[in-house]
Structure 1
Amino acid sequence: MDKIILRELQLMALIGVYDFEREAPQALLADVELTVDLQKAQHSDDVADTVDYAALAEWMVNSAASTDFQLLEALAGHLINGILATYPATEVTLELTKPGILDNARAVSVRLTRRAA
């Protein structure tokens, strides 16, 4: 099956368990992979026949900015469920990364994969 992949999409979200994390929105990075049928788009060369990834990116940015979760797992679940409800993907994998949160690690990530119902 075909894939559309967005890598390192920057999102801003109020997220975290600790008080210092809740003072201001933090930068997160999202990698998202949508399994979609791209045959029609490859022949038509028309954005209407595919997932408009600029619109997907804008939706993700706006959705993350409007949330107030404590856990990356919760925000990732919110985003992946919204993608499946909004876009014609049969499967979505989302990796959500929080850079610089631990002194001894570059980043922490969660990765979810969900299939359309």
Structure 2
Amino acid sequence: MDKVLITGLQVDTVIGIYDWEKQLHQTLVLDLEMAWDNRAAAEHDDYQQALCYETVSKRVVQLITEKPIELIETVAERVAHCLLEEFFVPWVKVRVMKPGAVAAAQAVGVEIERSR
């Protein structure tokens, strides 16, 4: 299976369940793995056949920042749904990390895999 990868995508957004969290922006870090058949794009050196990293990244940032979200689990599910339905990827793995959420940990996060 071919994959398109986006790692370390940083998104500043309002995220959290506590009142104080709803008053500030925090950074989430996302890693995306998306199944995509790269053969046609590679064979013809054709951008139109590729899954565009920039377009995917911009859409994910827009999705996460358009309104406050309380849970990183919700972020992961919404991103996975978007990639499956809007970009027609057959399978996706989404990792969402929230640095600094727990004092004793570098980051906390969730990882999900979804398919069509």
> What is the TM-score of this pair, normalised by structure 1?
0.95
> What SS does the corresponding residue of 1:111 show, helix, strand or coil?
strand
Match of 1:86 in 2: 86
Q: CA deviation at 1:67?
A: 2.6
2:114 is the alignment partner of 1:114: yes
> What SS does the corresponding residue of 2:6 show, helix, strand or coil?
strand
Instruction: Please say if residues 51 and 88 of structure 1, whose CA atoms lie closer than 8 Å, have aligned partners that are also in contact.
Output: no
Q: CA deviation at 1:88?
A: 2.8
Match of 2:26 in 1: 26
After TM superposition, the structure 1 = structure 2 runs for residues 1-117 of structure 1, keeping only pairs within 5 Å, are 1-116=1-116
Instruction: Please say if residues 14 and 69 of structure 1, whose CA atoms lie closer than 8 Å, have aligned partners that are also in contact.
Output: yes
| Distance in 2, Cα, partners of 1:111 & 1:81 | 14
| Distance in 2, Cα, partners of 1:84 & 1:16 | 25
| Distance in 2, Cα, partners of 1:20 & 1:70 | 12
| Distance in 1, Cα, partners of 2:115 & 2:67 | 23
Q: CA deviation at 1:77?
A: 0.6
Q: CA deviation at 1:25?
A: 2.1
Aligned residues: 116
| Distance in 2, Cα, partners of 1:78 & 1:54 | 18
| Distance in 1, Cα, partners of 2:58 & 2:6 | 12
| Distance in 2, Cα, partners of 1:44 & 1:95 | 32
Moved over 6 A (4+): none
Q: CA RMSD in A?
A: 0.9
CA deviations on 1:48-104 (whole Å, 9 max, x unpaired) are 001011100111111111132111001111111011111131100000000011110
